[in-house]
Amino acid sequence: MRIVKRRKGNRDYYYMQHSFRENGRVVTEEKYLGKKLPKSIEAIREKMEEAAKRRLYAKLKAIRSNFQKQWKRYPESAKERELREIAIAFTYNTNAIEGSTITLEEVREILEDKIAPNKPLRDIRETENHAKVFLEMLKSKQKMSNEILLKWHKEIFGETKRDIAGSFRYYYNVRVGPHIAPHWSLVGRMMKDLILFINRSRLNAVDLAARAHYRFENIHPFGDGNGRIGRLLMNYIMWLEGYPMLIIEYEDRGSYYKALQGGEESFVKYFMRRYISVHKKRTVA
């Protein structure tokens, strides 16, 4: 939302504008405010933002509806193959973002053919364990909890990061690039609040997934592996509510990191744009 002033003759006129993407093009809506800014400008802004949110949620619900119609038509064997393919792509990208040297084809060889490439054993074990956790996650119907997050972390990193696997970072602090994570003494309370937020929220699942992921990464509750657990978390939230998932691709890591550094609202906007772009064919009936 932005306020625009236009000069006509010797008078100024004020408008509130909101731009959004529709069918591949940018559409700008405009509301005339008057010759001077009204006192009710915040109420006007809130009304326009609410209208924009309704349009966005309608697209997200269309994605869910069309995905569910398509998914229900799949035979069980086809569903299993599709989920294995997603597991391969997701495991490759999420690990590559965190520095894994294993390629997409090597991930496929590890998971499908049980062939180990000439790569660090740590990367191989984390590939195997991540894919296992991911596929098990998709079968779960449990509400999110810290116990689930700790279990995922232990199962993925139990062989490679034994000293921190399955535990929050009590008694030490971490810094990731320019981001200084909250003091270790705050982690327990912040994670409890995050779980309450997730389980009590009435937000659309995609909106909630974006905010939960951003807040989780901001807390950085583990000594290592936060990115991978955070991306599992966001996809679990969406999958549990019947939405298709989102893979943050290795090639797009730059824009992903930039969005995370820009604050929660900036990240949510990035996430929504990315999600709708990936699933744009499902936004129409």
With 0-12 / 13-18 / 19 or more C-beta atoms within 10 angstroms meaning exposed / middle / buried, residue 99 is exposed
220 catalytic per annotation:
yes
Residue 30 bridge partners (DSSP) = 17
SS3 readout for the chain: CEEEEEEECCEEEEEEEEEEEECCEEEEEEEEEECCCCCCHHHHHHHHHHHHHHHHHHHHHHHHHHHHHHHHHCCHHHHHHHHHHHHHHHHHHHHHHCCCCCCHHHHHHHHHHCCCCCCCHHHHHHHHHHHHHHHHHHHCCCCCCHHHHHHHHHHHHCCCCCCCCCCCCCCCCCEECCEECCCHHHHHHHHHHHHHHHHHCCCCHHHHHHHHHHHHHHHCCCCCCHHHHHHHHHHHHHHHCCCCCCCCCHHHHHHHHHHHHCCHHHHHHHHHHHHHHHCHHHCCC
What tokens appear for 151 in the block?
């279990």
Which of 130, 213, 220, 279 is an active site residue?
A: 220
- Residues forming the active site: 220
